[in-house]
Each structure stands twice: as C-alpha cells, then as structure tokens.
Chain A
C-alpha cells in the first residue's frame, strides 16, 4: 500500500501527558499537511510543510503543539500537556509537487482521546 500512513491509529492518554503522532506521506510528495477534526466538523488546518520547511501554522496550533519534518519525508506531531479539548481525530495529508495540482491525499488518521 503506497498511501499515506499514520501511527498510531488510536491513542488514549491521561490529561497532562505528552503524545506524539507520526505520518508517512506518499513517496515523492513533498507537501505535507496536518489537520484536526472533531465530530460533526470538517478537517481544520493545523500546519503545512514543503519538504522539511514548516511554511504555515494555524492559530489553532498552540504552544503545546509542535510539528516536525526533519528530512522532508515523515512528519511528527507532538502535543505536550494534553487537555481534554485536544481529543479529536488528527489527520495527515500529502500532495505532490507542482503549483496547479491541489489534490491532497489523506491518511486514516489518529484518534486521540484525552481522559
């Protein structure tokens, strides 16, 4: 399977703990996006990478959130000192190079539950 993969698929944690999620994009896709989705809503943009550079961050991405893509391939999203409001589905998407090709391909998501 050469689609976007995310790990873990589910994470249950206690409030105050740190969690880290991983995303492996489709190979040769140089653009990578993180979204958060809560029940009944569409995905909300969190951050965007082009290769290893983080080019945009949403105001939704508080100081407790950090994302990296050190080698321009896989990416990690870390949430420190988790809060119950962080419970959501965290989605990763990738997109191939090229300015006119705007299709984003999503992974299966990581469902986070903060108790």
Chain B
C-alpha cells in the first residue's frame, strides 16, 4: 500500500543531543500525526497537526506541518534514554478512514 518517505531510518545519538526526523509525501495531506512505538506495544500519539505551517510542541518535542502540505518534521530536544523507540509519521488525505504511515525512525540513545 501507499507509504510515506520517512528519514532517517535509524539514529544513534548521545544523551542530551537534539534529534530531527522528517516525512514526505507525493500527495497533499490535511493531517499529520507523529507516534512513538515501544517494542511489543501499540503506537502512542505524540503530536497532531492540522494546518499548513502549524508548529506544535509537546514538552521536548516539536513538530511542524510543511507549507506545501506534503511534508512534516519532528524534533526532539535534549534527548534522554526513555526517548528510545520507533517514531512513525502518519498522514490523512481527507477520506477520514485510514492513515498512511511511514516506515519509522528507530532512535537509540546512548546514556
């Protein structure tokens, strides 16, 4: 099925470093969602974006809805060990019925 281009595929960083990841789509979306998934668990919603250009923060996390409506990024500042996990972007093109997902960015944090 259709998927988003999410990069990087994986990251290994030192505790305290900032992290940036992004997603791009070939089509316009009206919603971008960022999720975090721990092993053996379901994805947990981090941030939801609904307007082009929107910049939203959730603690140390900041995400933006791209102006073209075809991309989004997620930043994590001052990473800590519990940030470890897989981060997924997901988008909705307006049919209200299903999300299109990226393949995930696997984040490892070295204490």
Contacts and interface: CB of A to CB of B under 8 A. Distances in A.
Interface of A: 4, 6, 33, 40-45, 48, 55-56, 58, 60, 91, 93, 99-100, 102-109, 111
Given A42-B103, A45-B99, A100 B50 contact: yes
A50 B48 CA distance: 21
Interface stretch (B12-20, B39-47, B67-75): B39-47
B48 A103 contact: yes
Contacts, number: 65
Contacts of A99: 96
Nearest to A103: B48
Contacts of A103: 33, 45, 48
A24 to B, nearest CB: 13
A100 B3 CA distance: 22
14 contacts: A4-B42, A42-B88, A43-B99, A43-B101, A58-B1, A60-B1, A102-B30, A102-B31, A102-B33, A102-B92, A102-B96, A105-B45, A106-B42, A109-B41
Q: Which of B42, B99, B104 is the most central at the interface, judged by chain A CB atoms within 10 Å of its CB?
A: B42
A29 B52 CA distance: 27
Given A42-B101, A56-B98, A103-B33, A111 B40 contact: yes
A43 B43 CA distance: 9
Given A103-B33, A108-B41, A42 B104 contact: yes
Interface in B42-91: 42-45, 48, 50, 88, 90
Contact of B97 (A41, A55, A109): A55
